[in-house]
Amino acid sequence: MGRAGRDAVYNNLKHLKENYKADVIIINVENAAHGFGVTQGIAREFLEKGCDVMTTGNHVWQQRDIVPFLEESKQIIRPLNYPENSPGRGSTIFELANGKRILITQVLGRLFMDAVDNPALVMDKLLKKQAFDRSGLIYGIGHAVYSLSDPRALIFEKFVQQLSAEKGREDEYALYAAIARLAPGMIAERRKMYKGVSPNIDFYSGFVYDMLGLPVELFTPIFAISRVTGWSAHRIEELVGGSKIIRPAYKSVAEKRAYVPLVDR
């Protein structure tokens, strides 16, 4: 729902509560932020207008700023059947004006819904070298130069979110957003030397290429084409200055052959 829909709720909430003598007002705020989950600001607005408890749904993670609010507030809950160590709570106890207490909870249905999994558990296995290529890395998280944030990724992410909405792939974007939010903290817990990490520009690249319909076989060439000039410059610097550290690493697999002048090629 957009602003007009929220205003309709705000303007009628007091009247509805008085008319029906409601003991408690429970509002499902799923996608209250223009169809993309709910923001912390919108959630607080609902509470200010008289809502007692808010429920959510499978888009609960789409707005990053709602996550700390899920942890701190007992007036908003996520689906109960998410893994137990997911942010927030799946139920809450609300005390009525007469002193009685009621339990409020919600569960996420499975009909026509994607299977629920916890990205934190998957990332934990990656970091423990128990999954994928057992490298202990979460690819796309971290950079040799950028630590607290990659400014390119911060700009790119906004367009990724817009494209995911256009292509109807908001749930996949929400997974990326969850990994981007959780991974830095999880890595910090496991690394002895830690300077801070964040998603880099290529964290989202593969997702974007796929949404644009590009074949997987082109992903790596596209990545490399834009970097050939820089790689060449690094190599020249290494040959001239004998630099100790060169990024990125390289290994030539071409057969050695004699130099051919440009005019003869």
- Quote the tokens at residue 240: 């001239």
CA 43 to centroid of chain Cα atoms? 19
Q: Do the Cβ atoms of 129 and 57 come closer than 8 Å?
A: no
Cα angle 88-166-116, degrees, rounded to a multiple of 5? 35
Helix axes of 40-48 and 3-20: crossing angle, nearest 10 degrees: 30
Q: What is the CB-side half-sphere exposure of residue 119 using CA atoms within 13 A?
A: 17
Q: Is 264 helix (H, G, I), strand (E, B) or coil?
A: helix
Q: Is the CA virtual torsion 186, 190, 195, 198 positive or negative?
A: negative
Q: Which residues pair with 54 in a beta bridge?
A: 27, 76
- Tell me which of 15, 34, 59, 143 is the catalytic residue: 59
Q: Is the CA virtual torsion 51, 55, 56, 60 positive or negative?
A: positive
Q: Judge whether 234 counts as a catalytic residue.
A: no
Q: Which of 85, 201, 222 is nearest to 139 (CA)?
A: 201
Catalytic residues: 59
